[in-house]
Amino acid sequence: MDEFTYRDGSLWCEGVPLTSVADRYGTPTYVYSASTLIDHYRRFAKAFDSISPLVCFSAKALSNIHLLRLLGREGAGIDAVSGGELHRAMVAGIDPERTVLAGVGKSSDELREAVRRNIRCINVESEAEVELLSRIAREEGVRPRLAIRVNPDVAPDQRTPARTTTGTRGGKFGVDIERAAALFERAAADEALRIEGFHIHLGSPIFDPQVYAVAMDRLLALVARLEAVGHRITTLNLGGGFPAEYIDRTAPSWDDFAEVIVHRLTGFTRQGGQVIFEPGRTIAANAGILLSTVRYLKQAGDQQLAVIDAGMTHIARAAMYDSYHFMWPVQPPAEAIPSSRDVSGLDGLTTYDVVGPICESSDYLARGRSLPVLKAGAHFAIFTAGAYGMTMTSNYNSQLRPAEVLVHGDQVSLIRRRETYADLVGLELLDDGSDQGD
pLDDT tens per residue across span 250-271: 899 999 999 999 999 999 999 9
**pLDDT tens digits for 74-96?**
999 999 999 999 999 999 999 99
Whole-angstrom CA distances from 39 to 46, 244, 286, 289, 326 are: 10, 14, 11, 17, 21
Please give the pLDDT value at position 181.
96
- Return the SS3 of 226: helix
Mean pLDDT along residues 382-387: 98
Percentage of residues in the chain with pLDDT exceeding 70?
95
Cα distance between residue 297 and residue 276, in whole Å: 48
Summarize the annotated binding site for substrate as residue ranges: 281, 317, 321, 360, 388
Give the pLDDT band (50/70/90) at residue 219: very high
pLDDT at 173 (0 to 100) = 85
The answer to whether residue 121 is catalytic is: no
pTM: 0.95
- pLDDT of 59 > 60? The answer is yes
Detail the residues annotated as belonging to a binding site for pyridoxal 5'-phosphate.
241, 278-281, 388
Report pLDDT for 249. Answer: 81
pLDDT-derived band at 165 (thresholds 50, 70, 90) equals low
Q: What domains sit in the chain, N to C, each tagged with a CATH number?
A: 4-31+285-426 (2.40.37.10), 34-284 (3.20.20.10)
Please spell the DSSP secondary structure of 94-144, one letter per residue.
--GGGEEE--TT--HHHHHHHHHHT-SEEEE-SHHHHHHHHHHHHHHT---
pLDDT digits (tens, 9 = 90+) for 299-325: 999 999 999 999 999 999 999 989 999
Mean pLDDT of the chain: 94
